[in-house]
Amino acid sequence: MGLLDIRAQSAEHKLGLGITLITIAFLCAAVMSAFSKAAAGVPPLVILFLQYGISFLIFVPWAARGGWTNLKTERLRLQLCRSLAGSICQLLFFVGVRSIPLLDAVLLSNAAPLFIPLVVYVWFRKTVQPLVWASLGIGLTGIVMIIKPGPELLKNTASLTALAAGLFSAIALVATNTLAESEPPVRILFYNFGVSTLLLAPLCVWAWKPLTARDWILLAGVGVSYALTQYLIILAYRYASATELSPFNYSVVVFSGILGWWLFGNVPDALALVGTVLICTGGILSIEAGHAEGHGHVFGFGHWQLHWKRQRAAIGTV
């Protein structure tokens, strides 16, 4: 399966390379978010369909190289759950980012680590540790500073929409990590891109409107950036662990802040900056102190080495 099959990867540890790859991956994620905000005239369902459709077309040649029999799954229901949650996450983000600064939208949708302990508790009935509760309190304080509860929030619910994207991102991420215990990344991504494309096709037909040349360029940017993000995250996990890479999850926030200022003139105020720091701090603490099912990355991208690292450790090859 080449570079996409982590079962065949070298066990060589290269932390610097892993950090570089994960940082570039989240630069691609920030660029994807900027493309989607710039495509404000395109219906969100159309953006979502083309994001998955383009990624699927890019990914299929690699997936097919290992033979179609390697893509069969015995966990179809969980694959469907992961794809549905991920699609809802992305759709809510595309809706929310139209009406609020890019930094705020990315930050709130990346609040997934703050929801993960609750998702893990409901899903697996695993208790939430005191340090995790503390991290949730820190992150919640930051969220309040960003969304600024008040009458205006009821008039413009975009912040709550972006925050809801974070909840579905948490569900998708936990599902991804559960799948990763028995399914290789190539199979998870194949179903993620493929199932989402099929489910969204009829909705895209319903929501379709004529697109300009500029729209097509922006949508191509969304799809290619999304595919690159997924691919680079998998490569990063070849060389470093989730524990080592998790502090770099929120590099996407830094990149989004820069792009939001440069492209859209969004300058965060002091309260928003403090809220940003608190959400990032709470998110990182939640990942570090939480259960293994919650390790991973933004937008439900997941944590790709959990099962294969254990497998190699059991046979003494790590």
> Which DSSP helix (H) or strand (E) runs through 244?
helix 242-245
> Which DSSP helix (H) or strand (E) runs through 264?
helix 251-264
- Helix (H/G/I), strand (E/B), else coil: 250: coil
Q: In the chain, where are the structural domains located?
A: 2-314
Quick: pLDDT tens for 114-129: 888 888 888 888 887 8
Q: How far apart are CA 7 and CA 311, in angstroms?
A: 9
* Residue 40: closest CA among 193, 263, 282: 263
**Low pLDDT (below 70) residues in the chain:** 1-11, 154, 290-318
DSSP 288-308: HHS-GGG---GGGT---SHHH
Predicted local distance difference test score (pLDDT) of residue 51: 95
Predicted local distance difference test score (pLDDT) of residue 318: 32
Q: How far apart are CA 125 and CA 206, in angstroms?
A: 40
Q: How far apart are CA 47 and CA 50, in angstroms?
A: 5
Dihedral sign of CA atoms 115, 119, 121, 124 in order? negative
Predicted local distance difference test score (pLDDT) of residue 181: 79
Contact 139, 111 (CB under 8 A): yes
* Residue 19: closest CA among 194, 262, 246: 246
* Residue 222: closest CA among 51, 76, 93: 51
For 315, residues 6+ apart whose C-beta sits below 8 A from its C-beta are none
> Encoding tokens for residue 22?
């994960």
Quick: pLDDT tens for 40-76: 999 999 999 999 999 999 888 877 777 777 788 888 9
Residue 134, Cβ neighbours under 10 Å: how many?
14
Q: Which residues of 184-221 are buried (b: 16+ CB within 10 A; e: fewer)?
A: bbbbbbbbbbbbbbebbeebbeebeeebeeebeebbeb
Angle at 293 between CA 289 and CA 295, to 5 degrees: 55
Predicted local distance difference test score (pLDDT) of residue 307: 44
| pTM for the whole structure | 0.85
Quick: pLDDT tens for 187-227: 888 899 999 999 999 999 999 999 999 999 999 999 999 99
Predicted local distance difference test score (pLDDT) of residue 179: 85
Predicted local distance difference test score (pLDDT) of residue 314: 40
The phi and psi torsions of 105 (rounded to 5 degrees) equal -65, -45
